[in-house]
Chain A
Amino acid sequence: MTATVESTVSAPRRGTGRPAAGLAPALAGTVTVGLGGAAGLLGVLGISGHGGGVRLGWLLPLAGVDFAVSATAGLFMLLVGLVAVAAGVYSIGYFRTSGASTITLAVAPVFTAAMLGVLAAGSVVTLLVCWEMMALASLVGVLSDHHRPAALDAGRWYAGMTQLGFVAILVGLVVLSASGGSGDMVLLGRHAGRLTPTARNAVFALTALGFGSKAGLVPLHVWLPRAHPEAPGPVSALMSAAMVAVGIYGLVRVDVQILGPGPRWWAVAVLGFGALSAVYGVLQASVSTDLKRLLAYSTTENMGVVAVGVGAGMLLIDYHRPGAAAVAIAAALVHTVAHAVFKALLFLSAGAAVAATGIRDLDRLGGLAVRMPATTILFAVGALGASGLPLGAGFVSEWLLLQALIHTEPGSGTLLAVVMPVAVGVVALSTGLGVAAMVKAFGVGFLARPRSPEAAEAREASPSMVAGMSFAAAACGVAAVAPVVLSAALDKVLGETPGVGLSAAPSLGVVLRLPGLAGSVSPAVLAAAVVSVTLAVVVLAGRAGARRRPAAVTAPLWTCGAGPLSERMEYTATSFAQPLQQVFDVVLRPEVDVEVSHAGGSEYLVERVRFRSRVDDTVELRLYRPILAAVSRWAGWVRRAHPGSVHLYIGYGAIGVTVVLVVAR
């Protein structure tokens, strides 16, 4: 996120192993699309209650592999399927033009299959095995361009964080299945009551940590803004749209459905970390100058909003408000789906722009609207969705969430009365700043004039890439105006959630109605009104203007006498974000460096002014760096014990044997 240092991606991409040629990208893409289609089918089966159980005892020694798709899993499979189809179609053209090794090509299908495995898992062991496959496949994706130091660094962070998260989930789920007396997810849901309160709290803390880190919640998000931008376009779309949703699935399935309803602090913890993620993520996104890093931080923000919904739902369940709880959890689920489609679209179109220019730095992009019109329009559709405005994919869920949060009756308890208004403020702030971040990404990155020769010579994405993005854009459109398609799935998922009033489930028809809460809105009618009014104005103004309009004259651009405008005069991402950076500098702690060199020894004559601005991740600097430094200090101490002397090692052996003999005497 440095304003002056360029982040150029070397194109063509150098990957692991030898470059694949010919039909390989098409094959990999088709397999991914096929997996996506199958996931959609399985998801529908799961939602309709035919997710049944399949046991493959021979596949894994001792435990076997169990698959059973619950309705919740079905909804998330549908989501992963949507993203996989879009990314699969897109990847055909993407890898054909930018070149990729066979290993990189294999990442997308394997990764998709692993994610589907996690969702379809019917037992704890299957879930853990698939979870690890998912982590490893995505790690290979992050490292597909491992010749660059930034990618290597991202890979190390990602590997460390994802394995720590896996350990937390592993221990948590093992404790859960040991205490619950079964490894079966459905049985565990019935037997979770057998756990002692301590075990329940421990399992919740461990699994929430693990799933939260996969969803990119602050302060476990540090891997996300590094890893997501480094992966190739389709893989980063799968990671940022689908994999974080798998983290949310874990949170909902294990912590809300199997373990819940739990003590009050669970809900407050989920809501609190969600609120922190939403605000911190959107602040970092709004000052980010790297296009894909901006989108990655926006993912943290959106997952934070989802966690706010889940946490609010848990809290409302605890306060016996089944109606509002249903709305809050439904809002979280709808937002997860909406985020998946618009973030897939954003990452795919950003990947197209990066592939065409080799540049991720917004300060050096621009002018793509002329050279890449289709990509620009599709990015705009995604950005509208991410802004949470009407006609955008994120509108319905944000509206539902706000409805659940603001309808807290007075006298419901002190905690609820304090937490809910704060949550409303968090959602409002993150939505507002999210609009600024998306305006910056779209306006600076795609409009105006190109700021670099690479951007000036960009070529439009290939037809299959445009087709993949258009599929995601169509899904955005459906999510924006016809959320009714999710209605049936939501009913089933809420039915699987203990403590939620099924009768109070929001109905997402043409008009969104919330039984038990006052408030309704109709996104479809809203969209129809906006479109028809716009059309009417255009037609009427065109007709009225045509009668009186004089002949057009070509006149020179008025530049206040300053000579021709150049791209150096445009707003850059850095300058656009400067006011926000100024306002929030307590949180962001930007490093600004102005260096003035004087000419001829006179303090009045300036030869050159050099401005450098850099915003680092405060959480990483303040929290992780000290921990890493402590670990490496400790490792240094341990290292002294093995200096390479064979005699010393034999001595260790002797001491060890003596200790064992004394202890086991």
Chain B
Amino acid sequence: MAGLTGRIRRLGRIAEPAPPAPGPLQDASEVGRGSLQLRHVDAGSCNGCEVEISGCFSPVYDAERYGARLVASPRHADGVLVSGVVTRNMASALVDAVNAVPAPRVVIAVGDCACDGGVFSEAYGVVGPAGAVIGVDVAVPGCPPEPAQIIDALRKLTRR
């Protein structure tokens, strides 16, 4: 226990200093203001975006200090974080997951694939971008987007 406490003290704070808060979105709803609980759905991603999303919630970027948090069930969530192009196998699962989130809810598309199909848009077995199956409220472009970009989008919702 003492060793652990000592290690925590020696390591100190490794989170990057918080950049200034971005302004709210133009048509911002009140969803997620102050606290945003998100369920992440991988609709058919190459896992590049997943690496960046996990980076967002790592000690270095620490998105939780802005009020955003990943949860295990859509029933606990305010919104859905979608990554990857929507494949046929995942289309109905994505719709079910989004419908399982209590309204009012927010859908955030992370990465080019989720926004407009990206490099996989012409592939067989693909339905289309997330917008083709569910309404998307916030888009974070990039292949993959950097954690800072994702956190910027989340902070626009939490306004912190």
A residues at B contact (CB < 8 Å): 553, 555-556, 558, 560-561
A553 and B73: CB pair below 8 A? no
**Does B29 have its Cβ within 8 Å of any Cβ on chain A?**
no
Q: Which of the listed residues A553, A556, A560 has the most CB atoms from chain B within 10 Å of its own CB?
A: A560
Interface string of B96-115 (1 = CB under 8 A from A): 11011001000000000000
| Residues on B with beta carbons closer than 8 Å to the beta carbon of A560 | 73
**How many Å lie between the Cα of A558 and that of B100 in the bound state?**
6
**How many Å lie between the Cα of A555 and that of B102 in the bound state?**
9
| Residues on B with beta carbons closer than 8 Å to the beta carbon of A556 | 96, 99-100
In the complex formed, the residue of B with least CB distance to A553 is B103
Chain B proximity of A557: nearest CB distance (Å): 9
A558 and B74: CB pair below 8 A? yes
**How many Å lie between the Cα of A556 and that of B93 in the bound state?**
12
**How many Å lie between the Cα of A556 and that of B101 in the bound state?**
11
**Does B88 have its Cβ within 8 Å of any Cβ on chain A?**
no
**Does B65 have its Cβ within 8 Å of any Cβ on chain A?**
no
In the complex formed, the residue of A with least CB distance to B41 is A561
**How many Å lie between the Cα of A560 and that of B96 in the bound state?**
9
In the complex formed, the residue of B with least CB distance to A559 is B96
A561 and B93: CB pair below 8 A? yes
Chain A proximity of B127: nearest CB distance (Å): 17
Chain A proximity of B141: nearest CB distance (Å): 27
Q: Told that A556-B100, A560-B73, A561-B97 touch, could you supply 11 new A-B pairs with CB distance under 8 A?
A: A555-B99, A555-B100, A556-B96, A556-B99, A558-B73, A558-B74, A558-B75, A558-B96, A558-B100, A561-B93, A561-B96
Q: Is the interface of B mostly helix, strand, loop or mixed?
A: helix
**Nearest 10 pairs of A and B residues by beta carbon:** A558-B100, A561-B93, A558-B75, A555-B99, A558-B74, A556-B99, A561-B96, A556-B96, A555-B100, A553-B103
| Residues on A with beta carbons closer than 8 Å to the beta carbon of B74 | 558
Chain B proximity of A270: nearest CB distance (Å): 54
Which of chain B's residues 88-142 have a Cβ closer than 8 Å to chain A? Answer: 93, 96-97, 99-100, 103
Chain A proximity of B61: nearest CB distance (Å): 28
B residues at A contact (CB < 8 Å): 73-75, 93, 96-97, 99-100, 103
| Residues on B with beta carbons closer than 8 Å to the beta carbon of A558 | 73-75, 96, 100
Chain A proximity of B9: nearest CB distance (Å): 40
Chain A proximity of B98: nearest CB distance (Å): 11
**How many Å lie between the Cα of A14 and that of B103 in the bound state?**
58
Chain B proximity of A559: nearest CB distance (Å): 8
**How many Å lie between the Cα of A553 and that of B104 in the bound state?**
12
**How many Å lie between the Cα of A555 and that of B73 in the bound state?**
15
15 pairs of residues in contact across A and B, judged by CB atoms under 8 Å: A553-B103, A555-B99, A555-B100, A556-B96, A556-B99, A556-B100, A558-B73, A558-B74, A558-B75, A558-B96, A558-B100, A560-B73, A561-B93, A561-B96, A561-B97
**How many Å lie between the Cα of A560 and that of B74 in the bound state?**
9
| Residues on A with beta carbons closer than 8 Å to the beta carbon of B73 | 558, 560
Chain B proximity of A183: nearest CB distance (Å): 74
In the complex formed, the residue of B with least CB distance to A557 is B100
| Residues on A with beta carbons closer than 8 Å to the beta carbon of B100 | 555-556, 558
Chain B proximity of A554: nearest CB distance (Å): 11
In the complex formed, the residue of B with least CB distance to A550 is B103
**How many Å lie between the Cα of A560 and that of B41 in the bound state?**
12
In the complex formed, the residue of A with least CB distance to B104 is A550
| Residues on B with beta carbons closer than 8 Å to the beta carbon of A553 | 103
| Residues on A with beta carbons closer than 8 Å to the beta carbon of B93 | 561
In the complex formed, the residue of B with least CB distance to A558 is B100
Chain A proximity of B80: nearest CB distance (Å): 13
In the complex formed, the residue of A with least CB distance to B97 is A561
**How many Å lie between the Cα of A561 and that of B97 in the bound state?**
8
| Residues on A with beta carbons closer than 8 Å to the beta carbon of B75 | 558
Chain B proximity of A477: nearest CB distance (Å): 39
Chain B proximity of A29: nearest CB distance (Å): 51
Chain B proximity of A363: nearest CB distance (Å): 29
| Residues on A with beta carbons closer than 8 Å to the beta carbon of B97 | 561
Chain A proximity of B70: nearest CB distance (Å): 16
**How many Å lie between the Cα of A560 and that of B100 in the bound state?**
10
**How many Å lie between the Cα of A555 and that of B74 in the bound state?**
12
**How many Å lie between the Cα of A558 and that of B74 in the bound state?**
8
**How many Å lie between the Cα of A553 and that of B74 in the bound state?**
16
| Residues on B with beta carbons closer than 8 Å to the beta carbon of A561 | 93, 96-97
| Residues on A with beta carbons closer than 8 Å to the beta carbon of B99 | 555-556
**How many Å lie between the Cα of A555 and that of B93 in the bound state?**
14
**How many Å lie between the Cα of A553 and that of B101 in the bound state?**
12
In the complex formed, the residue of A with least CB distance to B74 is A558
Chain B proximity of A114: nearest CB distance (Å): 60
**How many Å lie between the Cα of A555 and that of B75 in the bound state?**
11
**How many Å lie between the Cα of A558 and that of B73 in the bound state?**
9
Chain B proximity of A254: nearest CB distance (Å): 63
**How many Å lie between the Cα of A561 and that of B95 in the bound state?**
10
Chain B proximity of A558: nearest CB distance (Å): 4
**How many Å lie between the Cα of A560 and that of B75 in the bound state?**
10
**How many Å lie between the Cα of A561 and that of B93 in the bound state?**
6
In the complex formed, the residue of A with least CB distance to B90 is A561
Chain B proximity of A140: nearest CB distance (Å): 57
**How many Å lie between the Cα of A582 and that of B75 in the bound state?**
34
| Residues on A with beta carbons closer than 8 Å to the beta carbon of B103 | 553
Q: Which of the listed residues B73, B75, B96, B99 has the most CB atoms from chain A within 10 Å of its own CB?
A: B96
Chain B proximity of A526: nearest CB distance (Å): 36
**How many Å lie between the Cα of A558 and that of B72 in the bound state?**
12
In the complex formed, the residue of B with least CB distance to A555 is B99
Chain A proximity of B99: nearest CB distance (Å): 6
Chain B proximity of A545: nearest CB distance (Å): 15
In the complex formed, the residue of B with least CB distance to A561 is B93
**How many Å lie between the Cα of A611 and that of B89 in the bound state?**
34
**How many Å lie between the Cα of A594 and that of B23 in the bound state?**
62
Chain A proximity of B22: nearest CB distance (Å): 30
Chain B proximity of A354: nearest CB distance (Å): 38
**How many Å lie between the Cα of A553 and that of B100 in the bound state?**
11
In the complex formed, the residue of A with least CB distance to B93 is A561
**How many Å lie between the Cα of A555 and that of B99 in the bound state?**
7
**How many Å lie between the Cα of A558 and that of B99 in the bound state?**
9
Chain A proximity of B47: nearest CB distance (Å): 19
Chain B proximity of A129: nearest CB distance (Å): 68
Chain A proximity of B95: nearest CB distance (Å): 10
**How many Å lie between the Cα of A555 and that of B100 in the bound state?**
7
Chain B proximity of A109: nearest CB distance (Å): 57
Chain A proximity of B44: nearest CB distance (Å): 14
**How many Å lie between the Cα of A561 and that of B75 in the bound state?**
12
Chain B proximity of A523: nearest CB distance (Å): 40
**How many Å lie between the Cα of A365 and that of B92 in the bound state?**
34
**How many Å lie between the Cα of A558 and that of B93 in the bound state?**
11
Q: Which of the listed residues B73, B100, B103 has the most CB atoms from chain A within 10 Å of its own CB?
A: B100
Chain B proximity of A481: nearest CB distance (Å): 40
Chain A proximity of B77: nearest CB distance (Å): 11
**How many Å lie between the Cα of A561 and that of B100 in the bound state?**
10
| Residues on A with beta carbons closer than 8 Å to the beta carbon of B96 | 556, 558, 561
Chain B proximity of A541: nearest CB distance (Å): 19
Chain A proximity of B92: nearest CB distance (Å): 9
Chain A proximity of B15: nearest CB distance (Å): 32
Chain A proximity of B158: nearest CB distance (Å): 22
Chain A proximity of B150: nearest CB distance (Å): 24
**How many Å lie between the Cα of A555 and that of B97 in the bound state?**
11
**How many Å lie between the Cα of A553 and that of B96 in the bound state?**
15
| Residues on B with beta carbons closer than 8 Å to the beta carbon of A555 | 99-100
